Chains A and B, each alone.
Chain A
């Protein structure tokens, strides 16, 4: 199992961008996707992100998230269709005449639109954030976050947590497989499911506590507390940076203007 959300070494144009501008662009995309309710704008943003990843040759990374995202969006659209009623009625989930004369669970345009907006929102946020993480060296990410004056302790906690998530997922998988390999059979049904929790969790927590202990000691030994280890060399801006931030800003201005008109 490959680790997701990890830095991938490369020399695409996304790699050579300034991390600050990447963070600015991602923040812009996230803010825009939260505030706009126009599915066209969202679709354009997702398309733009996909094109950027295609240009950088990282589309494989994004497509690996597709299964989760499709599942999420299908359940979101179903949820909104079931709960929201607005706009014209397109049809019925259960056609008329099956249970009731008029059909139940009407599918309305308003609900469909809202469901699509919700799922495109997740697409945009996840893709943009993943491109940022995959193309930015963790040390550069730290430098950039420090450069916008976020206290070093918080930056470090954020970056370490980001690093831990995939390894914990892999480790959980590994422990699960190890328990299966030694013939552990929790039994079937609800009781089995409940019993299978403890043999997975206790090793996972104990292992990760031990590993974190080592990480803390290592950081102490490398003199983290003196804080000279984080050198602050300047991050350079180039044309692509201005282009990326400009694109996101233009979309934002467009959305605000069309909202005003």
Chain B
């Protein structure tokens, strides 16, 4: 079902619908932890969570995109195995890899803000979306990198080698697919 040509509802995007969509993206991000794309040269599989974070930001905009990621984080804190690799709980959030989860909330908000700015001048195309999302990816990895460095007490070089570099090729592909979906589908 393509929403693209369905203009009857898009001019009054009610709060209730945004709310339902926010919970959808929270669930998508959670399910994304299970869709793993194994990468041969890295021990850590690439999950599709970042992909849904990028989509949440650009489709739901700042307020609801950020809220959907907060709901996702709450699901994880409540004990549901929704963080990457099937882990859950407050301990993950405060642990070495918790920075990525916090980065999700910030990234969705920032991508939303950016695409709100762009939308004043017209509907953003593929490249504008991809640019916005790249900013979001940077935010996620900046947060993840910082927390990894402080919590695991490793130097910036090691943190970069284990927490950022192996994922970047995957992120480029995810950003491209996410930008494609965001520019062809509309809520």
Interface of A toward B, CB cutoff 8 Å: 5, 26, 30, 33-34, 65, 68, 71-72, 75, 118, 121-122, 125-126, 128-129, 153-154, 156-158, 160-165, 168-169, 172, 190, 193-194, 197-198, 200-202, 205-210, 212-213, 215-217, 219-220, 224-225
Contact for A161 among B9, B55, B71, B180, CB less than 8 A: B71
Contact for B173 among A129, A156, A194, A200, CB less than 8 A: A194
In the complex, are the beta carbons of B30 and A161 less than 8 A apart? yes
Question: Which residues of chain A are within 8 angstroms of B34 by Cβ–Cβ distance?
Answer: 169, 172
Interface of B toward A, CB cutoff 8 Å: 1-3, 9, 14, 16-17, 19-24, 26-28, 30-31, 34-35, 37-40, 48, 51, 55, 67-68, 71-72, 74-75, 78-82, 85-91, 173-174, 177, 180-181, 185, 187
Known contacts A30-B78, A172-B35, A197-B177, A212 near B89 by CB under 8 Å: no
Which residue of chain A is the closest to B27 with respect to CB atoms? A164
Minimum Cβ distance to chain B for residue A67 (Å): 10
Question: Which residues of chain B are within 8 angstroms of A206 by Cβ–Cβ distance?
Answer: 1-3, 181, 185
Minimum Cβ distance to chain B for residue A101 (Å): 28
Which residue of chain A is the closest to B187 with respect to CB atoms? A209
Which residue of chain B is the closest to A195 with respect to CB atoms? B173
Which residue of chain B is the closest to A71 with respect to CB atoms? B86
In the complex, are the beta carbons of B81 and A34 less than 8 A apart? no
Minimum Cβ distance to chain A for residue B77 (Å): 8
